[in-house]
Structure 1
Amino acid sequence: MGNALRSLYGKCCKPTTADESLGPHGVSAATVGVSALAHDLFNFEITSQVPEELGSYVVSSRKAQANWYRKMLDAWKQAKPPPQTAEEASRLIIDTLKRHQKADVEGLLTFYGLPLPHTLVNLSAEAPTSLPDGVLYELQTLPVDPKAVADGDTITVYVSTADPSVSSTVPKEVILASVKRAKARERKDYDKADELHKKITDSGYRILNIQNEEILARKFRIRLRGIDAPESQMPYGKEAQQELLKMVGKKSLRILVYGEDRYGRYVGDIYCNGRFVQEVMLKKGLAWHYVAYDKRTILAKWEKEARERRVGLWASSNPEKPWDWRRDRRQGNNQN
């Protein structure tokens, strides 16, 4: 048994508490997905038994199911690196069982709460090696606070003031307040330290603790260039926010800034671990191409692909556009 499978098994096999609902495979709802699959593969290697409840999701016999788990166990061990995300686990199952019945493959994926084949996307965009035309500057962010992902197209990020992109613009009073705060904390004058930190945050900066190191960082509100995600109160608004959070939460980002919008947000293209975030949002049907502000044909192409596959918000034949939704509510408020 590989260490990665043991690790995931351990995560999903903690005793459940009284208020935790159990998934179909006998583990807590919080562990459904990659960890649950790892749990069942680990159990299969020891007992040669498949989950009892799986038969309610698939059409083939128990003997056939055991054959699937044998194949998946071998594929998992050979994968380098092994699956870490729901999409990676889904692809492993699809590739391993590609000659099996569609109903069985989709039933198995549904059993583990993993993405179905038609919802998976193949990414094509690569992070540019040089700055494209129109880019004002590039930001390399600190890990993103999950609470800073407001919705499907806006996030708040922080960049260390040691970074060349911001180092020359830090106000002297912010640097001085940072030094005084550190000294106040040394002498345990926490009230003074908090007062100085408020001065720093009011100036658009913040002291972050990253791996036990305090870092002075500048705050940037980022609007994803070229897309418009559903508002939080709209259908798929929550799903869009969760998808963006899943991609960028606790990760450092590369952001190419093209300008500012009328709300003071920086408009930019975002790359995370080499993935172009806007491509993912469009191909998963969780955003529109914001053609009024961005004429890139590739964005229109990605939106069209999602429409044709009827994924995400395109499951509806005529989803309401977020700019129309905002306009209607502004007009309604003006009439009241």
Structure 2
Amino acid sequence: MGNAIRSLYGSCCKPSTQEDSAASYGVSTATVVVGVSALARDLLSFEQTSQVPEGLSQHVASSKKTQAKWYNKLLQAWKEAQLPPRTRKQASRLIIQTLKEYQRTDVEGLLRFYGLPIPRKWVEIPDEEVFPPTQPEGVQFELQTFPVDARAVGDGDGLTVYADATDPREAPNVPRAVQLAVSRRAKARASGDFETADAHQQDIVDAGYRVFNGSNNEEILAKKYRIRLRGIDAPEMEMPYGKEAKVELTKLLQGKCLTIGVYGEDQFGRLVGDVHCDGKFAQEIMLRKGLAWHFEKYDKRPELKKWEKQARDAHRGLWASPNPEKPWEWRKNNRRH
């Protein structure tokens, strides 16, 4: 399974054919990080089948029995990590640290197999350097997404994202009914029974998932999540600067893979979290540009208050008005919205 999907992640921003028009569902065909997702899928496949990837033996000298030991160790290290690798460098460090007792040439071969960087000098890597710093207090888990389509951004503080359902942290939660629908849909399409395939596709969509095609027409299952940016409240679309806020958030996130530190769910079933992409913190951008309020009732982080004050003092965005209406007050006075 991992090898069949690996080519989707082989190039940067490489467009792909999508039979189900995934972009209209908030999924773009832009790149996902090379190597990291391929490694994650192969670890998931190993957990389910105890089989190592085909073709790995062309890169390493060790037997398949030894390779199986590697994947067992890597699977455990991945699961036990406070934060799984997000970048190629972090994935490389995980492999080197976990397999440090094995031959260097074999470890290098494994890194090449996944297109991961090989260090010029092999030194002991301290455990604390393997992963990023600890998440802010209250973060329950980290969500990695597929690139975001512009139509997935609903307003200045909310959007829809899709996460790879074959990731080891997602796969155990895929309902059996969805797994069966995916399998039956593929068989129906292979036999030319597109009416039945479409019915199964609708079952998948109704369950909160999507199936779309990768660069080599391999099928990718993705889970849908609705996201609410934590700690800010942007103007509603009917309010002044509501449209400007949506445009700014769209410009920031469109086509990007996001890292979302999830704190929990709100009363509407949305995941509430910190949204990061390309080293930028989305909440910071929205506050600094005067396109959102600090939602201090639910998030008392001082940096959010500071960024709002900077925009106020500079009269940026909505702060060009001397007394802009607060979105929570607007909603209270406009219940029908």
The equivalent of 2:206 in structure 1 is 202
Question: In 2, are the aligned partners of 1:137 and 1:165 still within 8 Å (CA)?
Answer: no
The equivalent of 1:227 in structure 2 is 232
**Structure 2 residue matching 1:129: 3-state secondary structure:** coil
Structure 1, unpaired ranges of 5+? 1-126
**Structure 1 residue matching 2:249: 3-state secondary structure:** helix
- Counterpart pick for 2:243 among 238, 251, 256: 238
- The answer to which of 146-155 and 205-214 deviates more is 205-214
- Give distance in 1, aligned partners of 2:313 and 2:154: 28
1:165 aligns with 2:182: no
TM-score (norm 2): 0.59
- Counterpart pick for 1:256 among 241, 255, 261: 261
State the Cα distance separating 1:259 from its structure 2 match: 0.4
Q: Which runs of 4+ in 1 moved over 6 A?
A: none
- Give distance in 2, aligned partners of 1:159 and 1:153: 19
The equivalent of 2:195 in structure 1 is 191
The equivalent of 1:86 in structure 2 is none
Bigger radius of gyration, 1 or 2?
1
- Give distance in 2, aligned partners of 1:283 and 1:179: 47
Q: C-alpha deviations, 1:202-221, integer Å up to 9, x for none?
A: 11111133434421011100
Counterpart of 1:250, as a letter, is G
Question: In 2, are the aligned partners of 1:138 and 1:165 still within 8 Å (CA)?
Answer: no
Counterpart of 1:138, as a letter, is E
TM-score (norm 1): 0.59
- Give distance in 1, aligned partners of 2:132 and 2:252: 19
State the Cα distance separating 1:169 from its structure 2 match: 0.6
State the Cα distance separating 1:128 from its structure 2 match: 5.7
Q: C-alpha deviations, 1:89-143, integer Å up to 9, x for none?
A: xxxxxxxxxxxxxxxxxxxxxxxxxxxxxxxxxxxxxx96332321111111011
**Structure 2 residue matching 1:165: 3-state secondary structure:** coil
**Structure 2 residue matching 1:306: 3-state secondary structure:** helix
- Give distance in 1, aligned partners of 2:301 and 2:327: 19
- Give distance in 2, aligned partners of 1:245 and 1:208: 22
Counterpart of 1:323, as a letter, is W
- The answer to which of 252-261 and 203-212 deviates more is 203-212
- Counterpart pick for 1:309 among 311, 314, 328: 314
Larger relative CO (CA 8 A, sep 6+): 1 or 2? 2
Q: C-alpha deviations, 1:174-228, integer Å up to 9, x for none?
A: 0111111111111221111110011011111111334344210111000000000
Counterpart of 1:183, as a letter, is K
Counterpart of 2:227, as a letter, is I
Counterpart of 2:200, as a letter, is L
Counterpart of 1:267, as a letter, is V
The equivalent of 1:23 in structure 2 is none
Question: In 2, are the aligned partners of 1:139 and 1:165 still within 8 Å (CA)?
Answer: no
- Taking the TM superposition and a 5 Å limit, the aligned residue runs for 1:242-321 are 242-321=247-326
State the Cα distance separating 1:280 from its structure 2 match: 0.2
- Give distance in 2, aligned partners of 1:187 and 1:244: 43
Identity level (%): 58
- Taking the TM superposition and a 5 Å limit, the aligned residue runs for 1:137-152 are 137-152=141-156
**How large is the Cα RMSD of the aligned pairs?**
1.6
Question: In 2, are the aligned partners of 1:222 and 1:266 still within 8 Å (CA)?
Answer: yes
Task: Report how many residues are paired.
Answer: 206
Structure 2, unpaired ranges of 5+? 1-130
**Structure 2 residue matching 1:164: 3-state secondary structure:** coil
- The answer to which of 175-184 and 301-310 deviates more is 175-184
Counterpart of 1:281, as a letter, is M
